[in-house]
Amino acid sequence: MNKAALSKQHYVDPAPFDPGASEPVGSENESYYRASSWQLMWWKFRRHKVALAAAFILLGFYLLVPFVEVIAPYNQSQRNGDFLYAPPQRVHLMHEGKLVGPFVYPYEYRFDFDTFRRVYTVDTSKPQPIRFFCRGEGYDFWGLVPGDVHLFCPPTDGTLFILGTDRLGRDLLSRIIYGARISLTIGIVGIAVSFALGLFFGGLAGYLGGWVDHVIQRMIEILRSLPELPLWLALSAALPPNWSPVLVFFGITIILGLLDWPGLARAVRSKLLSLREEDFVKAAELMGASKQRIIARHLIPNFMSHLIASATLSIPSMILGETALSFLGLGLRPPVTSWGVLLNEAQNLAAVQLHPWLLFPIVPVVIIVLAFNFMGDGLRDAADPYH
């Protein structure tokens, strides 16, 4: 074997090697140095108390989503013809100085012929305890399995409108709970669409470069310079009116995702470009790693955390987009119930003035949006655990 061929070969010392021996790591630091980057991110995220609290709130809301039929005391479209626009019923614990447990006082109503409105009065003589884990209105769990068990139900022969009722006498609380299913999933499905598009176009631009990069860059610039709401409006007006609610749901999510990807694509592209120049990529190249290995083992895990963080930050804009579209009557349509559809009824001044409880769906929307923002901020800080 000649000298030139020998120098091309790797020389590996056969003696066993213990990295801890040459440069001892303190035992308290050992777990830190050996932790995977995901573990480091979790540790860093955990320190961000507000973000952690936001994450738990979101977890709570999302755990609710699969079980809305059980949690809601009424069905989403069940009408109580005797109780149109009933104001919220207060839940009491004490009746005449005695502890009865959670109960409500029944409503009595009469029709006021001067204002043509129903006037509800509370009858404080008869406490009606709320029932728990009870059999109530029948439903089809997930539209498949029939059931009738609820977490809590209205009293026997009584009503339980904790947040009041709407113009058809439907319980607002139950409708908000059912609305959570649509409003919360639309953000996730929408971001999935936008994530896929962003990864594809951003990856293409960053990987191929050249004229492809140029064209995609211009496309991103134009899309970002357009106000999104008018475009959302125009696109959702284009959904055929004879589509089924499920198709409309997917149509709306795709529309929301279609206009959201440029931000993510730009992040993917710039991350790809900057990571390619990093030392560890060069090191991997020098050690003879293949291109696929570099991309799969070194590049993608590195920018995935950033991507997840920025995706989290754009989920609220999806949820708000759906809310705004449905609020304007161009998004989801009844009988599908989302928070935006519920707010649609609170659109005019008269509704807001006479039945202010119809504005209540704003509360969960703001909570969710705030929580996603805080969690996204925490994730963004944690996404780079080595700095």
Partner 1 sequence: MIRFLLRRFATMAVTLVIISALVFFIIKLPPGDFLTNQIAELRAQGESASIAKAEFLIKQYGLDRPAWEQYLVWIGVMPGPNGFSGLLQGDWGWSFEYDKPVTEVLGDALWLTLLVNLAVVIFIHLVSIPIAIYSATRQYSLGDYIATFIGYIGLATPSFLLALILLYYANRWFDVSIGGLYDAKFAGQPWTWEKVRSLLSHLVVPTLVIGLGGTAAMIRRMRANLLDELGKQYYVTAKAKGLAPRTALLKYPFRMSLNPFIADIGNLLPHLISGSVLVSLVLSLPTVGPILLSALKSQDQFLAGFILMFVAVLTVVGMLISDLLLAWLDPRIRLGGRR
Residues that bind partner 1 (CB under 8 A): 221-222, 224-231, 233-235, 237-240, 316, 320, 323-324, 327-330, 343, 346-347, 349, 352-353, 356, 359, 362, 365-366, 369-370, 373-374
DSSP-derived secondary structure letter, 143 = T
E-assigned strand segments in the chain: 92-95, 98-104, 107-112, 117-122, 128-129, 131-141, 145-153
Residue whose CB is less far from partner 1, 72 or 371: 371
The minimum distance between CB 308 and partner 1, in angstroms, equals 20
Cβ of residue 232: shortest distance to partner 1, in angstroms?
A: 8
In whole angstroms, the minimum distance from the beta carbon of 379 to partner 1 comes to: 16
Angle at 195 between CA 192 and CA 199, to 5 degrees: 145
Q: How far apart are CA 361 and CA 177, in angstroms?
A: 10
Distance CA 378, CA 149 (A): 39
For the CB of residue 331, give the shortest distance to partner 1 in the complex, in Å.
12
Angle between helix axes 210-224 and 261-276 (nearest 10 degrees) is 140
Q: Smaller CB distance to partner 1: residue 256 or 343? A: 343
| Cα gap 173→302, rounded to integer Å | 43
Give 130 or 259: the residue with its C-beta nearer to partner 1. Answer: 259
The DSSP output letter for 1 is -
What is the rounded CA–CA span in Å between residue 355 and residue 165?
A: 9
Distance CA 168, CA 78 (A): 9
Closer of 107 and 372 to partner 1 (Cβ): 372
The distance of closest approach from Cβ of residue 236 to partner 1 in the complex, given in angstroms and rounded to an integer, is 9
Q: How far is the CB of 192 from partner 1 (least distance, A)?
A: 22
* Smallest distance, partner 1 to C-beta of residue 384, A: 16
DSSP assignment of 73-142 equals: SS-TT---TT-TTPPPPPPEEEETTEEEEEEEPPEEEEEETTTTEEEEEE-TT--EEPEEEEEEEEEEET
Q: Which residues of 285-295 are buried (b: 16+ CB within 10 A; e: fewer)?
A: eeeebeeeebb
Q: Computed over its alpha carbons, how large is the radius of gyration of the chain?
A: 28
Q: Which is nearer to partner 1, 25 or 229 (CB)?
A: 229
Q: Which is nearer to partner 1, 186 or 324 (CB)?
A: 324
CB of 92 to partner 1, least distance (A): 26
Closer to partner 1 by Cβ: residue 87 or 129: 87
Q: Which is nearer to partner 1, 206 or 376 (CB)?
A: 376
164-189 per-residue burial string, b: 16 or more CB within 10 A, e: under 16: bbbeebbbbbbbbbbbbbbbbbbbeb
Report which of 124, 119, 68, 122 is spatially closest to residue 96, judged by C-alpha positions. 124
- Closest CB to partner 1 among residues 205, 320: 320
Shortest distance, position 348 Cβ to partner 1, whole Å? 9
